[in-house]
Copies of this chain bind each other. A is one copy, B any other.
Amino acid sequence: MGVVLNLDEGKRDGATIARLMSLTGADMGRVNELILSKAGSDVDMIPEVANHLISSGGKRLRPMLTLAAAQMFGYVGDGHVKLATSVEFMHTATLLHDDVVDESDLRRGKKTARMIWGNQASVLVGDFLLGQAFRMMVDVGSLEALDILSTAASIIAEGEVMQLAAANNLETTEDEHFAVIKAKTAALFSAAAEVGPVIAGASKTDKAALRSYGVNLGLAFQLIDDALDYGGSAQELGKNVGDDFREGKVTLPVILAYRRGSAEERKFWKGAIEEHQSDDAALDKAIGLIKKHGAIADTIARARHFGEIARDALGPLPATPQKAALIEVIDFCISRVN
């Protein structure tokens, strides 16, 4: 696969989500039970497809955000467990549909559900999980949390369509790209974080703080994901390096390299992204150009920018173990580029 970038510049040593995992461990046990139970059905194909993806070793970062954010404001009850499970189901449904839309073969290092059970099952089981997510939210009974999460569901789909419409368009500006990832990725991080203070009955200011933390964390997370697609190895990534390139996705490293490139380089990008001349040799060349123009380093710099906004969003909140854990998550997300 050729050139592998040294991305050490993005790493803060030892950043982990250990503190978050420890704080939410007991609650996550209940989330995991609820996931299994609510993905169940007498129709065998449903738990088979759902569990294939659910058990594939995702970090379950989003539900942990909901749990920690609810704990942070002293929430007592089991509503946060149900909302966290809803958030994870919304995410899983999106992944099932994404893999159909992107025609992906691999996800987290395993065959995608659509490769095993077909596109049809992936579409329909995604719909089922989305329905189950809404049922759990309704069960919690907070209209405010329902509003936030149902709005996120619309915005995520809108972001995916924006991405589809912008596919292969190298003239996409950085701002337009931020609008896409804000909708398709950051909206769910934001909703996941905000519903914590919402069910805990926290103040408007506290809700706004967690919402701002979530959206900026989500932006940072997605930018690092996009950087990883041109570095790292398939094993770490759980996807193949160059997947985005081969699918003609216009992510930030490409946007920067294209805008900074010579006329000749832009011609190469046109062929690669718009006309799918994206074999391994082209990928090597793309990685070389991205390196030459510092496009990975600057993608990471943009991610850091959003990470700092996320950190400051939590600034006024009292020092709690949850606050410390949520700040560590920012460093962890950015240090995934290693």
Q: Which residues of A contact B (CB under 8 A)?
A: 41, 43-46, 97, 100-101, 119-121, 123-125, 127-128, 130-132, 134-135, 137-139, 141, 143, 146-147, 150-151, 153-158, 160-162, 164-165
Q: Which residues of B contact A155 (CB under 8 A)?
A: 131
Q: Which residues of B contact A164 (CB under 8 A)?
A: 45, 120-121, 124
Q: How many copies does the complex hold?
A: 2
Q: Is the CB of A134 within 8 A of B158?
A: no
Interface of A is mostly: helix
Q: Which residues of B contact A146 (CB under 8 A)?
A: 134, 138, 146
Sample of 17 further A-B pairs with CB below 8 A, known A128-B157, A134-B134: A43-B161, A43-B165, A100-B123, A101-B120, A124-B164, A125-B157, A125-B161, A127-B130, A127-B153, A127-B157, A130-B130, A130-B157, A131-B153, A131-B156, A134-B146, A134-B150, A137-B150
Q: Is the CB of A130 within 8 A of B153?
A: yes
Nearest Cβ distance between residue A73 and chain B, in whole angstroms?
Answer: 22
Task: List 17 interface pairs A-B (beta carbons < 8 Å), by A numbering.
Answer: A41-B158, A43-B158, A43-B165, A45-B161, A45-B165, A46-B158, A100-B119, A120-B164, A124-B157, A128-B158, A128-B161, A131-B150, A131-B153, A132-B154, A134-B134, A138-B146, A139-B147
Q: Is the CB of B165 within 8 A of A150?
A: no
Q: Which residues of B contact A139 (CB under 8 A)?
A: 147
> A151 touches which one: B43, B101, B120, B135 (CB < 8 A)?
B135
CA distance A154 to B123 in the complex (A): 13
CA distance A155 to B134 in the complex (A): 12
Q: Is the CB of A128 within 8 A of B147?
A: no
Q: Which residues of B contact A119 (CB under 8 A)?
A: 100-101, 119
